[in-house]
Amino acid sequence: MITYPKELPYPLRDGYGFSPVSAVKRTTMQTGRARVRRNYASVPTEAKVQWMLDSVQAEYFESWVEDALLSGSQWFECELRTPQGLLPYKAQFKDGYEGPVLFGVNNWTISATLVLWERPILRGGWAIYAPQFLLNAGMLDVAINRNWPE
Same-domain pairing of 36 and 110? yes
What pLDDT, on the 0 to 100 scale, is given for residue 148? 67
> What is the distance between the alpha carbons of residues 8 and 57, in angstroms, rounded to a whole number?
7
Q: What's the CA gap between 124 and 41, in Å, rounded?
A: 13
pTM of structure: 0.79
**Residue 26 DSSP symbol:** E
Average of per-residue pLDDT values in the chain: 88
Sign of CA dihedral 29, 34, 37, 40: positive
Number of structural domains (the chain) is 2
Higher local confidence (pLDDT), 58 or 42: 58
Range of 42's domain?
2-119
Lowest mean per-residue pLDDT among 19-28, 60-69, 109-118, 129-138: 129-138
Q: What is the pLDDT of residue 150?
A: 62
Q: Residue 110: give its domain's CATH number.
A: 2.40.30
Same domain, 115 and 128: no
Whole-number pLDDT of residue 10:
93
Q: What is the pLDDT of residue 149?
A: 62
Residues 83 and 137 in one domain: no
Do 102 and 115 lie in a common domain?
A: yes
